[in-house]
Amino acid sequence: MKKSKSASRYSNDHLPYDILVKIFMVLNVVDLGIVSLVCKSWKSASSDRALWHKVDLSRLSSRFFDIPSDIIFWTASDKRSTSTKMAQFLKHALSLSGENISCLIFNFYIPLTDIQLITAAQRTPNLKRLVLPYKGSLTKRAIHTAMASWRGLESMTITSMINCRYLFSAISKWCKNIVELKFTDDFNQNHADALIKYTPNLKVLSLRTTMVEKKALEDALDGLKHLKVANMCHASFT
């Protein structure tokens, strides 16, 4: 049977905007970046604010970013290749968000670099929740640059990859709204002193999979006058 002219002209780029957005809701952030390159209507739909409240990079395919199966066996070449791809991806994907992202979760196994952090910060000025990865190397300048962009930040997960001295000085200067912190690193007296000094309005403190100095925890709980919730999971005390 011969197709009608209207049917022959019908193509994916003529799908209603609302339908495209609903379809794109099931895609991960990499796929959204890819479909945005198909045509103008797909790019418009892939930039809808409903798609960009939360970006969870932990769900990305390891194959896409050349992530080795075991982080212990990463080579210098692995790190350079992955870092370059991630920086390029962040620049494109986060530009689609229209500054609507409120939660950013980095991939646990991909080391974070200065350029990646700054690229992300420049494109997510309204961020409220940040989850850092397990590994990385960040300078004081990069941390302060990022925190200056994230002045509305309220919650952060801190790992061993970041120099807490640099981080807390940046929080004190730029992020006055921090009310929740989660540590997946060892918790010691330096952390407790920094919390009391730089985040006096903290309301939620979570310690997960960490070695915790008992005296440091006692000091933090006593010194944080506005603390309402203290969560501990898989923590060992010393």
pLDDT of residue 7: 38
Domains and CATH numbers, the chain: 14-51 (1.20.1280), 52-237 (3.80.10.10)
Per-residue pLDDT of 52-65, as tens digits, reads 999 998 877 555 55
CB 164 within 8 Å of CB 191? yes
Secondary structure of 191-207 as H, E, C letters: HHHHHHHHCCCCCEEEE
Tens digit of each residue's pLDDT (9 = 90 or more) over 96-141: 998 999 999 998 878 889 999 999 999 999 999 999 988 888 999 9
pLDDT over 50 (residue 5): no
Task: Please state whether the predicted TM-score (pTM) of the whole model is above 0.75.
Answer: yes
pLDDT tens sequence across 153-168: 999 999 888 888 889 9
What is the distance of C-alpha 199 from the center of its chain? 20
pLDDT score, position 22: 94
Q: How confident is the model at residue 28 (pLDDT cuts 50, 70, 90)?
A: confident
At 43, list the tokens: 């790019």
CA dihedral 211, 199, 164, 192 (to 10 degrees): -40
Pick 30 or 182 by higher pLDDT: 182
Structure tokens at 44: 């418009």
> How many C-beta atoms surround the C-beta of residue 83 within 10 A?
18
Residue type at 79 in one-letter notation = K
